[in-house]
Amino acid sequence: MLKFAANISFLWKDLALPNRVRAAAAAGFDAVEVLFPYDTPAPELKRALDQTGLPLALINCPPPNYTGGERGFAAVPGQEDRFRTDFRRALRYAQALGAGHLHVMSGPAEGSEAETCLIANLQWACDFAPDHSLTIEPINPHDMPGYFLNDFDQAARVIDAVDRANLGLQFDAYHAQRITGDALACWAAHGHRARHVQIADHPGRHEPGSGEIDFPSFFAALVADGYDGWISAEYAPAADVEAGLGWLAEVARG
């Protein structure tokens, strides 16, 4: 059975973060994820999670919010100390809230030295937090120019080189479509590495069914492959959030 989470960094932006958790529960989601929750005191967010019974599927590392700054340091040579400091802080927050996955962002870099740096930092992080699931996510270069991890084959190579059981792939169907032109074929090639999935249609990054990705076939592929992790709705609503949730009701109907 497919399990859906709401990315409340994208959805219900007009509400305070704890109230977005409550809105996600009311809309029928089974979990939430938050990209950068660090501006909200952990006890406030934990209270909303406990009240609704929704687990927190994932948060991003590093803190705080990347607005105006770099989007990670894991692949940036010379920033190893900064990476470790940020990782420790993010891990404490993730543990306080029971976040299932911690997404490690690579940041702006290029070349073989950056890949070597990323592998070493991920090995350190996996060993520092052996009981916590870590993910890396290819992000398309159109939406995030200069971001180091921008290719699924590259991500597979890094995961294999890190060689730790608590590191896996974060598979975003929108990024897969924009990077490769075929999200389903990309899943067929790399889905076996995935421990977290995110969805948005392409183009536009709106609700499933608004663009060119064949989501019924995509969801069927996840079921056929035995994927049992979260599927997070990480999209920009075309209009009202609730008005755009027809896709979720359709999946629930089977």
Q: What is the Cα–Cα distance from 230 to 106, expressed in whole angstroms?
A: 22
Please report the beta strands in the chain, taking only residues with DSSP state E, as ranges in sequence order. Answer: 3-7, 31-33, 58-61, 101-104, 133-136, 167-172, 194-199, 230-233
Single out the residue of 51, 57, 109, 100 nearest to residue 80, CA to CA: 109
Three-state secondary structure string covering 118-147: HHHHHHHHHHHCCCCEEEECCCCCCCCCCE
Max distance between CA atoms of the chain, in angstroms, equals: 51
Q: What is the Cα–Cα distance from 110 to 101, expressed in whole angstroms?
A: 26
Catalytic residue among 115, 234, 242, 250: 234
Q: Is 234 a residue of the active site?
A: yes
Q: Is 70 a residue of the active site?
A: no
Q: Which residues pair with 133 in a beta bridge?
A: 101
Q: What are phi and psi of 60, to 5 degrees?
A: -95, 150
Catalytic residue among 33, 115, 137, 207: 137
Q: Which residues are catalytic?
A: 137, 234
